[in-house]
Amino acid sequence: MVAGLVVIALTGCGPTGSASATGGKPDLNGIWQAVNTANWDLETHAAGPGPAQLGAVAAVPPGLGVVDGGAIPYLPEAVAAKANNVANRWKDDPELKCYLPGVPRATYMPYPFQIVQSPTSLMIVYEYAGAARIINMGGTEAAPIDSWMGWSNGKWEGDTLVIDVTGLNDQTWFDRAGNHHSDVLHVVERYTLASPDVINYEATIEDAKTFARPWTIKMPLYRRLEPGAQLMEFKCAEFAEELLYGQFRKQQVGQAR
Amino acid sequence: MTCLRMRASLIALPLLWLLLAGCSGNTSRGGVARTPWGDPDLEGTWNNATLTPLQRPPALASKEFFTSDEAAAYIKDRLEQSNVDRRPQASGAAPNVGTYNDLFFEREPKVVKSLRTSLVIDPKDGRIPQLVPEAQARLDAARQRLALHPADGPEDRSLLERCLLFSAGGPAMLPEGYNSNYQIVQTPRYVVVLIEMIHDVRIIPLDGRAHLPANASTWLGGSRGHWENDTLVVETTNLRSTSRGRSGIGMSDEHLRVVERFTRSDATTIAYRATVEDPTVYTTPWTIEISLDRAKGPILEYACHEGNYGLAGILSGARAEENEAGTRGKVR
């Protein structure tokens, strides 16, 4: 019996222990959120105005960049598209339309997300637009088709969860500042527990049609510690209906019915 | 593996056996596959497509169960009758307007394993119960409004067409015409159900937390789960009310409460029951039964809203019809 207990201690194989619930891997289960301004602009930026009628509510909060080395290495021919996106950012950003955010943008939007990790499966669920990703743990299959959230193959490198993401379409932006990419985007994400309540997150972005070389963003992700913390439902399609379909309305909003 | 061997040799020591029970990865006890921490294992990819109708057709009023021959005949008949490609064509009319070709639909040639003639198992007549008078009046008013204003704006259209809620999302989780696929991931603290349609996810906490205040109502509602023996029992409240009715169960209001029961019944099946209660809508609670059958993955992304050309087409089509009628000096 003593020998048995020793075995339990050595294998970490208890009835409710975290190790058995995650197949002996680091436990990333929880609700996480970035606390930065990357969703407004991945690069360092000063404060700026938003749509005038919304005043300070929609102003751009200033922030330090998350791009390793400071600047995104656009190819010369990709710079014009970025400038055009900036000029039309309050009209063309897919976030305005409640479109799925893609990877890595889903990670640093100003909404929490939940990692659901079992011994054999891993799913990431985002509050924004109810976006979800199934991570194919141990998978090496190529993306069967392009999609908004891409195709994710995951593996453990030591204590780091590494997710290789391909099959991302070219419809998403990286941020509200119009940073963009093509359909050959390849993202490698790395999730490493730095402490029980902090994940060090890195994403290396490779896109030979858009960037001169791969580049990396880095940021901490913080555990939401409030008692009862949970993802809330944010099915924002409903809130984008006027924007998308208002032109087809029988009578415009505000007119007498 | 070490733990498995230990358990076999120490089976006479009940206390230690209990300690170790959670130690065996993906084993079974009581004939049920279990997680390493001992809960029944619901993980995997599942599908609940069936030809069994939600409500028992009037023609089968006295028949609660098919015989296997009757079920086979019913399946054959349903597949033929519902084949949209073989719909009789009016002379000169384009075939199939307003729907997809048949191959897009999920036509699993099967009925529920119980051979019941409806998914509704209670009341005994297999029909959704009568509405209370006030609810019937609300439904009549909504239908009248819809007849007069079928497409004035997006909110006149169904939750499905607006990519807000499909019947597969539920609750109760009822099959769609296609893509009735689900993936379940579970931890000691949560059971999480990904629904292919609209990539909806139901995150069901198992920690006994209270429901949110009633004003925090949502399309999928707030679900709270617990294990009763080997059955996952999930209670969902905080469901948003809509005069159009919910996708799937239809008429309901803010008092809707759905209790679902997930039981892993064999290696390839989760038995699923859901009881729908809404005292301000239905005269009695009602219960459906269906199975989630093991399916082959992977589930791919159903980006409903992003690809929703249909809603713009329906609304702009309605405006075009009005303009045409106006040009001809007619009032529609």
Q: What is the ipTM of this complex?
A: 0.91
**pLDDT above 80 for B21:** no
pLDDT value, residue B7: 38
Mean pLDDT of chain B: 88
CB pair distance less than 8 Å for B194 and A132: yes
Q: How far apart are CA B145 and CA B149, in angstroms?
A: 6
Instruction: Return the residue in B9, B203, B301 with the most chain A beta carbons within 10 A, the one to mutate for interface testing.
Output: B301
Mean local confidence (pLDDT), A95-121: 98
* pLDDT of B286 higher than 60: yes
Average pLDDT over residues A37-51: 97
Kindly tell me if the per-residue pLDDT of B223 is higher than 80: yes
Closest approach of A4 to chain B, Cα-based (Å): 7
Q: From the CA of B21, how many Å to the nearest CA of chain A?
A: 7
Is B185 in contact with A241 (Cβ distance < 8 A)? no
B189 contacts A248? CB cut-off 8 A: no
pLDDT band at B247 (very low <50, low <70, confident <90, very high): confident
**Distance from B119 to chain A by nearest Cα, in Å?**
29
A116 vs B: CB within 8 A: yes
Please report which residue ranges of A35-88 form alpha helices under DSSP H.
Answer: 79-87
What is chain B's alpha carbon radius of gyration, rounded to the nearest angstrom?
23
> Chain A residue with minimal CA distance to B22?
A15
Q: How big is chain B, counted in residues?
A: 332
Asked if A121 reaches chain B (Cβ–Cβ under 8 Å), the answer is yes
Mean pLDDT of A19-32: 94
Task: From chain B, pick out residues whose CB is under 8 angstroms from the CB of A131.
Answer: 199
Q: Say whether the peptide bond before residue A196 is cis (omega within 30 degrees of 0).
A: no
**Subunit contact B153:A249, Cβ cutoff 8 A:** yes
- Residue B194 has its nearest CB partner, among A20, A134, A232, at A134
Range with the poorest average pLDDT among A19-28, A116-125, B6-15, B198-207: B6-15
Contact yes or no for B44/B294 (Cβ under 8 A):
yes
Phi-psi domain of A218 (left: phi exceeds 0; alpha: psi -120 through 50; beta: other): beta
Helix runs in B89-197, H state only: 133-148
- For residue A14, the distance in angstroms to the closest alpha carbon of chain B comes to 6
Q: Averaged over A205-223, what is the pLDDT?
A: 98
Which residues in chain A touch residue B26, judged by CB atoms under 8 angstroms apart? 119-120
Helices B2-9 and A2-11, packing angle to 10 deg? 160
pTM for this model (two decimals): 0.90
pLDDT at residue B99, as a whole number: 66
The answer to whether B218 contacts A4, with C-beta atoms less than 8 Å apart, is no
Buried/exposed code over B65-98 (b: 16+ C-beta within 10 A; e: otherwise): ebeeeebeebbeebeeeeeeeeeeeeeeeeeeee
Measured between CB atoms, which of B16, B23, B185 is closest to A1? B16
Least confident piece of the model among A143-152, B30-39, B73-82, B89-98: B89-98
- Cross-chain CB nearest to B316 (options A148, A241, A248): A248
Alpha-carbon distance of A192 to A70, in angstroms, equals 22
Q: Which of A247, A250, A255, A257 to mutate to test the interface with B (most CBs of B within 10 A)?
A: A250
State percent of chain A over pLDDT 90.
89
In chain B, residues with a C-beta closer than 8 Å to the C-beta of A229 are: none
Residue B24 predicted with pLDDT over 70: no
A8 and B20: CB-CB below 8 Å?
yes
Q: How far is it, in rounded angstroms, from Cα B232 to Cα B87? A: 42
pLDDT of the residue at B79: 87
Query: What count of CB pairs under 8 Å joins A to B?
Result: 159
> Is B102 or B112 the better-scoring residue by pLDDT?
B112
> What band does A251 get if pLDDT is binned at 50, 70 and 90?
confident
Instruction: Indicate yes or no: CB of A118 within 8 angstroms of CB of B23.
Output: no
Residue A63 has pLDDT above 50, yes or no: yes
Distance CA A58, CA A126 (A): 22
Chain B: give the shortest CA distance to residue A9, in Å: 11
Q: What is the mean pLDDT of chain A?
A: 92
pLDDT at B132: 97
Interface of A with B in 22-61 (CB under 8 A): 23, 29
Answer whether residue A8 shows pLDDT above 50: no
B158: pLDDT strictly greater than 50: yes
List the single best residue of B35, B185, B219, B311 to mutate versus A (max A Cβ within 10 A): B185
Q: Is A209 on the interface with B (CB under 8 A)?
A: no
Instruction: For tokens 């239809």, name the residue.
Output: B250
Determine contact: A115 vs chain B, CB below 8 A. no
- If pLDDT is split at 50, 70 and 90, which confidence band does B27 have? low
Region A27-39: mean pLDDT is 98
Asked if the model's pLDDT at residue B22 lies above 70, the reply is no
**So what's the pLDDT on residue B103?**
72
The partner residue sitting opposite A16, judged by closest CB among B22, B163, B199, is: B22
For the segment A55-79, the average pLDDT, to the nearest whole number, is 97
Q: Name the residue among B138, B163, B107 with its Cα closest to residue B280.
A: B138
Q: How confident is the model at residue B95 (pLDDT cuts 50, 70, 90)?
A: low
Low-confidence winner among B39-48, B57-66, B74-83 (lowest mean pLDDT)? B74-83
**Angle, alpha carbons B160-B161-B165 (nearest 5°):** 25
Q: Is the CB of B155 less than 8 angstroms away from the CB of A237?
A: no
**Lowest mean pLDDT, pick from A100-109, B10-19, B172-181:** B10-19
| Inter-chain CB proximity A123 and B194 less than 8 Å | yes
Nearest one of B197, B203, B202 to B301, comparing CA atoms: B197
Quick check: B189 and A147 CB within 8 A?
no
Looking at the partner chain, which of A15, A171, A238 has a beta carbon nearest the beta carbon of B164? Answer: A238
Name which of A36, A63, A67 is nearest A216 in CA terms: A67
Residues B113 and B66: their CA atoms lie apart, in Å, by 10
In this predicted structure, what is the pLDDT of residue B5?
Answer: 37
Residue B288 exposure: Cα atoms within 13 Å on the Cβ side: 28
A17 to chain B: nearest residue by CA?
B37
One-letter amino acid at B41 equals D
Q: Say whether B185 and A149 touch across the interface (CB within 8 A).
A: no
